[in-house]
Structure 1
Amino acid sequence: MDNSSIGSFSWRWNATRIDRTQPRIVAPSDAPGRGPHPPILREIRNRIMTQISSAEMPSVEADTVPRGMISNLMSLTLMILGLLTTLEGADPDTTLPAAVLVAGPWMLAAGVFGFAGGITNWLAVKMLFDRVPLLYGSGVIPNRFREIRATIKGLIMTHFFDEEYLRRFFDEHGSQLTGGVSLEQELTALLASDQADEAIEAELELLKQGPMGMMVKMAGNDMLKVIIKQFMGGLVTRIAPVAEARLRDKAIDVPALRVQVDRLLEVKLEELTPEIVKGMMERVMREHLGWLIVWGNVFGAAIGLLSRTIAVHWNIGGVP
């Protein structure tokens, strides 16, 4: 399968825009002046609607290992111990061993710089997911959740339900698909292929050049690709068995099928509230963000030790 099977990058919003003034989803063939909807597409539409309407969004699991909190507490403890030891060393009547008194300033330097690095990274993560009063630019994900929803839908429709690819696939493999398994395997393989990764990667690179560029860069391409593939995996599982049962029937209208999928995605994505979008992003990114805080403590402590080494070597006073 070559790159052309993934589909072009052009947007097709006008052809698939939903009329929000209607209380129900109206199929193209139900509009005035059109003929009756083909039974195949009607069945596909009803089955998919039933599955998607009853689906639940994945819940966010608790972080079993709060690495960031543990590393911050370790740096804070080291800072307090270093401060107490240094203050005790200033007392001429101290009873602490000489080795402890010598280690005090080093512990203080590592603790101060490590805690500063860790708490700064923790605050950056907090600002990414939550709105922090008086901090401009915080709450990036909740503030841009509509753009995230539109991005997910656009990537799915452009790369995995491209009309040209669907037509070619039905023409070449329609006579071989009879059991409701092959189409699902093909689409799943397409979703896991390098071509799909390249297509998603290219689209994300284009998004970085637009208004959403900062958000995409902060989330990371790998994280967004995982979210898109997770969303597509469940959709493929629901759609494939229904579509495969009727592949031999040449009455399948690919454009109408794309419109139905587009509208089903529209309905499903409308359920993505800011809290759910935040949870989806956090579910994928939590482990990596925890390590970001850990490494903030590590590199901060290393900088503190380097600063102390320079101060001791050149006999510079006033440097931790």
Structure 2
Amino acid sequence: MNKSLITNLLAGIFVVLGFIFDQAIVLSVGLFALSGAVTNLLAIHMLFEKVPFLYGSGVIALKFQSFKVAIRNLILTEFFSEQKINSLLSKAQPNIDFEPIINNVDLNPAFDSLLEVIEQSQFGSMLAMFGGSAAVEPMREKFIEKMQLSLGEISQTDNFKALVSQTLSQSNSAESLHNTVLKLVDERLDELTPKMVKEIIQTMIREHLGWLVVWGGVFGGLFGLIAAVI
């Protein structure tokens, strides 16, 4: 059972017990906790899925072009800039291994770009109510791990290696190799669909966003207790 379901079940139990035994405080705690947990659960769902009549829902799919541009800029500026390619070419190695570069590149700017896209979307104001970017900060390490793995796999594909070898055989120009990488990246990103982008991000962050539901229930319950006492 996931933490979101457990939180909602506990809040629902408080509501039932408070109603059956006519305990106003217990009922108030349960109702406030349930409303906080359900609201946050709906917010998480709205991040990934389009909900009819709810403006701003499905922001990941709606903003997938922005994510694609951010990924493209990250790859070209952080991994395959002409300066880095020049450094590799200067070693005159016939088979260039890009994985060491990928593993040593700081991917924190990529995660910051992801947060910026979310905060500037319709979902940003809703996320702010639940702690803003701090609420999704725990997913940073997982995001970086997934990005390094994905980029490493791309650099090891036969298609990528063939293009690099072909370019090197034709010219030792960093600009030429950079243009080859640019073409390959654009071709791969063009294959991405809104659904694919949603699934990629959903896999990385859904587990951590579940804590929004837990804390929504906890703080909702505390507010309910205060309301009942007052």
TM-score, with normalisation over the residues of structure 2? 0.78
In structure 1, the partner of 2:16 is 80
Q: Return the letter of the residue paired with 2:223.
A: I
Moved more, 138-147 or 252-261: 252-261
Change (3 A) 1:260 1:213: farther
Alignment of 1:27-42 (within 5 A): none
Q: Name the CA shift for 1:249/1:132 in 2 (closer, same or farther; >3 Å).
A: closer
Q: Which residue of 1 aligns with 2:100?
A: 186
> Which of 281, 285, 295 pairs up with 2:215?
295
How far did 1:66 drift? 2.5
Once residues 133 and 201 of structure 1 are traced to their aligned partners in structure 2, the CA distance between those partners, rounded to angstroms, is: 29
The answer to whether the 8 Å contact 2:48/2:60 transfers is yes
Identity, % of aligned positions: 28
Give how far 1:282 is off.
Answer: 0.6
- Describe the SS at the equivalent of 1:123: helix
1:190 is matched by which residue type in structure 2? N
Match of 2:80 among 161, 172, 178: 161
1:123–1:144 Cα change, 3 Å: same
In structure 1, C-alpha distance between the alignment counterparts of 2:99 and 2:149, rounded to whole Å: 15
The AA in structure 2 aligned to 1:67 is: K
For 1:143, the equivalent position in structure 2 comes to 62
Alpha-carbon spacing, 1:140–1:160, altered in 2? closer, same or farther (3 Å): same
Match of 2:176 among 233, 248, 256: 256
CA gap of 1:268–1:197, structure 2 versus 1, over 3 A, is closer
The amino acid across from 2:182 in the alignment is D
1:156–1:228 Cα contact (<8 Å) kept = no
Offset, 1:278: 0.8
Where does residue 93 of structure 1 map in the other structure?
Answer: none
| Structure 2 residue runs without a partner (length 5+) | 128-132
In the alignment, the residues of structure 2 paired with residue 251 and residue 72 of structure 1 have an alpha-carbon distance, to the nearest angstrom, of: 62
Residue 236 (structure 1) shift: 2.5
Give the aligned partner of residue 130 of structure 2: none
| Aligned: 1:286 with 2:222 | no
Distance in 1, Cα, partners of 2:157 & 2:50: 36
Greater displacement, 148-157 / 262-271? 262-271
Alpha-carbon distance in structure 2 between the residues aligned to 1:161 and 1:256? 12
CA contact (8 A) 2:99 2:152 kept: no
> By how many angstroms is 1:237 displaced?
2.7
> Which residue is equivalent to 1:197?
107
Q: Which residue of 2 aligns with 1:318?
A: none
Paired residues for 1:111-130 under 5 Å? 111-130=30-49
> 1:247–1:275: structure 2 CA closer, same or farther, 3 Å change rule?
closer
For the 8 Å contact 1:147–1:212, the answer to whether it is kept is: no
Q: In 1, distance between residues paired with 2:14 and 2:74?
A: 48
Q: Secondary structure at the match of 1:183?
A: coil
Distance 2:206 2:104 in 1: 27
Instruction: Provide the residue aligned with 1:23 in structure 2.
Output: none
Name the CA shift for 1:226/1:149 in 2 (closer, same or farther; >3 Å): farther
* Alpha-carbon distance in structure 2 between the residues aligned to 1:298 and 1:273: 37
Task: State the structure with more CA Rg.
Answer: 1
Q: For the residues of structure 2 that align with 1:265 and 1:287, how far apart are their CA atoms?
A: 29
In the superposition, relative to structure 1, how do residues 198 and 242 fare at CA in structure 2: closer, same or farther (>3 Å)? same
Where 2:156 maps in the other structure, the secondary structure is helix
Normalising by the residue count of structure 1, what TM-score does the alignment of the two structures yield? Answer: 0.58
**Whole-Å separation in 1 of the counterparts to 2:155 and 2:204:** 21
- Match of residue 50 from structure 2: 131
The equivalent of 2:71 in structure 1 is 152
Gaps of 5+ in 1: 1-64, 87-103, 312-320
> Is the contact between residue 152 and residue 228 of structure 1 (CA under 8 Å) also seen in structure 2?
no
- CA change 1:167–1:243 in 2 (3 A) is farther
CA distance in 2, matches of 1:84, 1:212: 43
- How far is the alpha carbon of 1:261 from its aligned partner? 1.6
1:273 and 2:187 aligned: no
